[in-house]
Structure 1
Amino acid sequence: MAERLAWLLTAEGLPFEQLRIGGETRENFSVTETSTHREFRFVMPGPVVSEAEWQHCLDRLDGLHPAPLYLVLSGSLPLGVPEDFYARVIRMAKAHGSRVVLDTSGPTLRLALPSAPYLIKPSLNELRQLTGLTLETEADCLRAAREIVQARHADVVALTLGAGGAMLVTQDDVAYASSVATSVHSTIGAGDSFVGAMVWALNWGADVRQAFRYSMAAAGAALGHAGTELGSAAEIERYYQGVSLSSAASVVSAPKDEPRT
């Protein structure tokens, strides 16, 4: 399976480095029920990663030269990897001058925050888990996000609210974007598209609001495709033109449950 993944990356023309482990790359799959259009995801636990293997990953990240301007840490940690792994990577990356973008949840997110990543992208449910609060209203969400920023646990919080849009919170700014108007065929890849587009835009010099608009456009483009197909560059640019930002105070409430974006 690892060789298959490497082949797919090569076919896309993406540079990568393979860090081999003893176990096989995990496979996940999704099922869409045609009668209700509900989506079911089956996420496998994957192999256990040994201490020597995850330490090798840390050493390789520490030795990146030149250090990346942005480093994205995304997803749950494999079995065997300590819950503070992302916290260790954040401290290491910041020492080399990299900005870390963190997209994870649960104890891994909680333990990473004191190391102060540059940007975090929780969903509404993930922010609820982090804070232990119900976060019933937009004001509750804004307050929770601001507390993270004011505590210097992140410079930027990009909070996704599923069908309710998304909220951007920094020390000096708050912005809200409505969900892109599109027919939802699948939510697979929308969250990763959100993060990827934001980092891509920031990397070429966009300000955080402009990057936020691109993230909404990329997520919306992904939602319009079935399965694992994502939005094209042309689609993202088209959606970007329709993304407008407003004061988050104009939002009345946030939904209790939302698709993972």
Structure 2
Amino acid sequence: MSRIVTLTLNPALDLSTETEKVMPGPKLRCGAPRIDPGGGGVNVSRAISKLGGESLCAVAAGRSAGATLLGLLEAEGLEARDLGLDLPTRESLSVIETSTGAQYRFVMPGPDWQADHIGHAISRIEGWCANGDFLVSSGSLPPGVPDTVFSDFNDWMLGRGVKMVLDTSGPALAVAAARRGLYALRMDGAEAEMLAGRPLQDVTASAEFAVRMVAEEVAEVVQIARGAEGTVIAQSSGVWHCAPPEVEMVSAVGAGDSHVAGFVLGLAQGLDPVSACIQGVAAAASAVTTPDTALCEREAAAALAKGGVVRRL
């Protein structure tokens, strides 16, 4: 089985708590906080573990908060390695107002990177990836990191036979779409519409756009997630729509990371991309039935995968 390495350049300690009412002025007495490791690649590794797989979680986890984050990952049984940059690790805060059920989310930007930090990170990752491995690059970028960084990582990894699976947004996604050579690119509907410059109102429109990106050699495999409708997946041999059974949604948090986890785990186990996509769709559907940071569940994902529908477009 191929190895999976996840990369998180801007991880976070996610603190969550609750208080009766959020208001300006007085001190707000909160409940005991829950602390979870966070960040795109971190959550992909956590979801892979929940699905019964293994990965190497490469993370820029510096200083005391970073040590706490690594400890939390190791407590979950993950193999986690620090990129060794000695930069502070950001923290994020989520507060639920119990009187209304409203959730307030405060997200910090992360530390400022310098050019030598990027070079150091690249050298570390190169030492941890080998021919045939999958590198999952996911999540936001910290200040100081150029929008080209994921595409640059891919250029360096291509020569080593490493296949990059990219799940990002904003300018970094736009740069990746203007370059060539990714193995797999995943987007949600809004991100795909940003690249397309127009609404993608139905599955057919998403499929046409995904096919165009494959033809332009942006990636060998392009996936566009359409929420409860499922995911469109295109490759050189065609385009398919993968849809899960209907589920009752509790929280959409972690669905995208769970999808990537199920997909790349399927690839590492030798599945073809469409079959792996069904695993991803099922993992995402499982995740939306769990609260907040719980991510997917192995048994539920397996059952949902059996009920998934694949249709060639």
State TM-score, norm by structure 1: 0.87
**Correspondent of 2:252 among 187, 193, 197:** 187
Equivalence for 1:253: none
> Which one has the bigger strand percentage?
2
Equivalence for 2:52: none
Contact 2:187 2:224 in 1 (8 A): yes
Equivalence for 1:230: 295
Could you tell me how far 1:33 is from its partner in structure 2? Answer: 6.8
Aligned partner of 1:176: which letter? Answer: H
For the residue of structure 2 that corresponds to 1:100, the secondary structure is: strand
**Correspondent of 1:127 among 180, 188, 192:** 192
Could you tell me how far 1:65 is from its partner in structure 2? Answer: 5.3
Equivalence for 1:91: 155
Q: Distance in 1 between matches of 2:273 and 2:102?
A: 34
**Is the aligned partner of 1:7 residue 2:71?**
yes
Percent of paired sites with the same residue: 32
For the residue of structure 2 that corresponds to 1:112, the secondary structure is: helix
**Correspondent of 1:60 among 124, 130, 134:** 124
Could you tell me how far 1:179 is from its partner in structure 2? Answer: 4.2
**Correspondent of 1:110 among 160, 170, 174:** 174
Contact 1:221 1:231 in 2 (8 A): yes
Equivalence for 1:76: 140
Contact 1:115 1:153 in 2 (8 A): yes
Distance verdict in 2 for CA 1:2–1:167, change over 3 Å = same
- The worse-fitting range, judged by mean Cα deviation, of 9-18 and 152-161 is 9-18
Contact 2:130 2:160 in 1 (8 A): no
Distance verdict in 2 for CA 1:33–1:147, change over 3 Å = farther
**Is the aligned partner of 1:199 residue 2:256?**
no
Could you tell me how far 1:98 is from its partner in structure 2? Answer: 0.8
Contact 2:256 2:284 in 1 (8 A): yes
For the residue of structure 2 that corresponds to 1:27, the secondary structure is: strand
Contact 1:103 1:121 in 2 (8 A): yes
- The worse-fitting range, judged by mean Cα deviation, of 231-240 and 203-212 is 231-240
Q: Distance in 2 between matches of 1:125 and 1:218?
A: 20
Q: Deviations over 1:165-201 (max 9, x none)?
A: 2111111122112344222111111100000110001
Equivalence for 2:241: 176
Q: Distance in 1 between matches of 2:224 and 2:119?
A: 31
Aligned partner of 2:238: which letter? Answer: D
Equivalence for 2:213: 148
Aligned partner of 1:175: which letter? Answer: W
Could you tell me how far 1:211 is from its partner in structure 2? Answer: 0.5
Q: Distance in 2 between matches of 1:246 and 1:149?
A: 19
Q: Aligned residue pairs: how many?
A: 248
Distance verdict in 2 for CA 1:90–1:144, change over 3 Å = same
Could you tell me how far 1:107 is from its partner in structure 2? Answer: 1.7
Q: Distance in 1 between matches of 2:152 and 2:145?
A: 12
**Is the aligned partner of 1:208 residue 2:273?**
yes
Equivalence for 1:251: none
Q: Distance in 1 between matches of 2:156 and 2:142?
A: 20
For the residue of structure 1 that corresponds to 2:121, the secondary structure is: helix
Contact 1:167 1:176 in 2 (8 A): yes
Contact 2:151 2:176 in 1 (8 A): yes
Equivalence for 1:25: 89
Q: Distance in 2 between matches of 1:121 and 1:41?
A: 25
For the residue of structure 1 that corresponds to 2:112, the secondary structure is: coil
Q: Deviations over 1:49-74 (max 9, x none)?
A: 22221220012122335345111010
Could you tell me how far 1:160 is from its partner in structure 2? Answer: 0.3
Contact 1:26 1:46 in 2 (8 A): yes
Q: Distance in 2 between matches of 1:125 and 1:35?
A: 32
Q: Distance in 1 between matches of 2:286 and 2:94?
A: 19
State TM-score, norm by structure 2: 0.74
Equivalence for 1:47: 111
Could you tell me how far 1:39 is from its partner in structure 2? Answer: 6.0
